[in-house]
Amino acid sequence: MTRSHLTRRATLQALMAGAAVSAMPRGAFAQTTNLRWWSPQGSPEQVAAYAYQIEAFHALHPEIRVTFEMTSDEGYAPQLAAAFSSGQVPDIVTHLPSFAVQSYYANGLIEPFDDVIAAIGADDFYPGANDVFRAADGQYCGTGIGNSAANMMWLRRDLMEQANIDKIPETWDELSAACSAMQTRGTYGAPLPYGRNTMTSLIFTGFIHGAGGHVFTPDLEVDIDNEGTRNALEFYREMREFCPPGATNYSWGESLTAFISGASATGIYTGRVLVNAVLQNPAIAEHITCATYPRMSTDIAPWTFNDFPSVFIPAQSQNKEAAKLFAAFLFDPEGYIRQLHAAPGHVLPVLQSVSADARYQDNDIIRTYSDEVELMAQAAAGGFNLGYESAEHQSNDRAGEVINAGPIADLVQRVVLNGDNVDEALSDTSRAIAEIVSG
């Protein structure tokens, strides 16, 4: 049976027949089985899609109840730490970055996910899509609920035309010149983050790679003190004059709002820009487009940040088999497409059959911005993150701790905002990362 012909009922039956649950017959769960589902992705449209998936699952399994609970992009780490510490864990978690999942799995907190991937249909995933979730023991710690291209550059063609810019910037010099030309009294050039938060850490990691640098060597030795990082710091400092004053505290929401509201001429975000522009500021919607983010030189390949939004099951869950059933059900096309359509272009399909599905293509935003969605899909499919810096790098299961501890964001604040000596700041940052990795 091919994945494109795998019905919702057949998907669940396939998982029930898997090795991990072969002894449990369909309908064998107690009437009181309750699953808790956590995710930091909770726009009203997404919550409505989740509600549909929950009800459709309950129709098949009336003995299992699922409750959705919202977390936050910046707050999931302490929330999960408290849950793991107390043992009061959710039964399924979605939309966390792959590097966080690898870190949890390395600490024995995550259930292997191989049988769920098999039930979904391993061959239906895009080639290499699950590589980032393969742990050191050879098992998978989760899978992607979607792909994202978090550092796409967004532009407004109307502002480019007014500023006589006839070429989308590909290099940092071109970006700086474009931001300078488009910056006016009411519009800044860019909404880059400079706050002590994960967005600054993740976006600046992209700038390091955009200068040909890296944070770790391929064999995971700390190596952030390199020429690429130094060049990235210098350019990030130059870009500060083109960012709003509040950028010193910007995280994801503020950066997105700055572009959508018209406060900045360029943006840096995922495809959520599309639906937000259409719904919140239709006056600019017809003018926006995107490109891979500029790098120091065209000799350096673009580096797209894909956090590989995930789905995984905590090892402490008391309802693992029911959670596995629900995890596989999340990829049933009817509900999965509704979830993707809740923010078209923001989270992109990981299954080839869904990308080709006429129901997925039947969406006004996906049709209108077909070129942009296709570019994001290609960029995300070849994307990386700190847990998977390049095709040559080993998978880094300590990347989550590095991001959450904030040494990279601290580096940006020290050098760019405070004017600290770059040699001292890089030395301190290298030492801080090494302590996190060895700790």
Best mean pLDDT range from 19-33, 321-335, 393-407: 321-335
Q: Where are the domains of the chain?
A: 3-147+307-367, 152-305+384-438
Query: What number is the average pLDDT over the span 43-64?
Result: 96
Burial class for 228, CB neighbours closer than 10 Å (0-12, 13-18, 19+): buried
Helix (H) or strand (E) holding 349: none
- For the stretch 146-183, pLDDT in tens is 999 999 999 999 999 999 999 999 999 999 999 999 99
- Placement of tokens 């350019």 in the chain: 235
Residue 4: pLDDT over 60:
no
Q: Which amino acid is at 188?
A: Y
pLDDT computed for residue 31 by the predictor? 63
Which tens digit of pLDDT belongs to each residue from 304-347?
Answer: 999 999 999 999 999 999 999 999 999 999 999 999 999 899 99
Per-residue confidence (pLDDT) for residue 30, from 0 to 100: 52
What does the mean pLDDT of the chain come to?
92
Count of C-beta atoms within a 10 Å radius of residue 427: 12
The pLDDT value recorded for residue 6 is: 32
User: Taking 70 as the threshold, does the pLDDT of residue 26 lie above it?
Assistant: no
Give the span between the Cα atoms of 194 and 240, in whole angstroms: 9
Express each pLDDT in 351-372 by its tens digit.
Answer: 999 999 999 999 999 999 999 9
pLDDT at res. 301: 95
Q: Is the pLDDT of residue 24 over 50?
A: no
Q: What is the pLDDT of residues 294-305, one digit of tens each?
A: 999 999 999 999
Residue 155, token pair as written in the block: 């532009």
Q: Is the pLDDT of residue 27 over 90?
A: no
CATH superfamily entry for domain 3-147+307-367: Periplasmic binding protein-like II (3.40.190.10)
With cut-offs at 50, 70 and 90, classify the pLDDT of residue 28. low
Domain 152-305+384-438: which CATH number of 3.40.190.10, 1.10.3720.10, 2.60.40.1080, 3.30.428.10: 3.40.190.10
Percent of the chain with pLDDT over 70: 93
Token reading at 215: 């944070």
Q: What is the pLDDT of residues 101-150, one digit of tens each?
A: 999 999 999 999 999 999 999 999 988 889 899 998 999 999 999 999 99
- How high is the pLDDT of residue 16? 40
Tokens representing 221 are 């030795």
In sequence order, which residues have a C-beta less than 8 Å from that of residue 56 and are 6 or more positions away?
Answer: 8, 329, 332, 334, 335
Quick one: pLDDT at residue 439? 79
In terms of Cα–Cα distance, which of 287, 122, 254, 102 is closest to 188?
254
What mean pLDDT do residues 230-252 have?
97
Nearest to 300 by CA among 366, 386, 203, 208: 208
């009061």: which residue's tokens?
88
Contacts (Cβ under 8 Å, ≥6 apart) of 357? 4, 333, 337
> Fold match between 3-147+307-367 and 152-305+384-438?
yes
Q: Tell me the mean pLDDT in the region 89-108.
A: 95
**6-10, 46-50, 233-237, 311-315 — which is least confidently predicted?**
6-10
Q: Which long-range contacts (CB under 8 A, 24 or more apart) does 71-80 make?
A: 71/38, 71/39, 71/40, 72/40, 73/40, 73/198, 73/251, 73/252, 74/197, 74/198, 74/251, 75/40, 76/38, 76/40, 76/100, 77/400, 77/404, 79/38, 80/38, 80/104
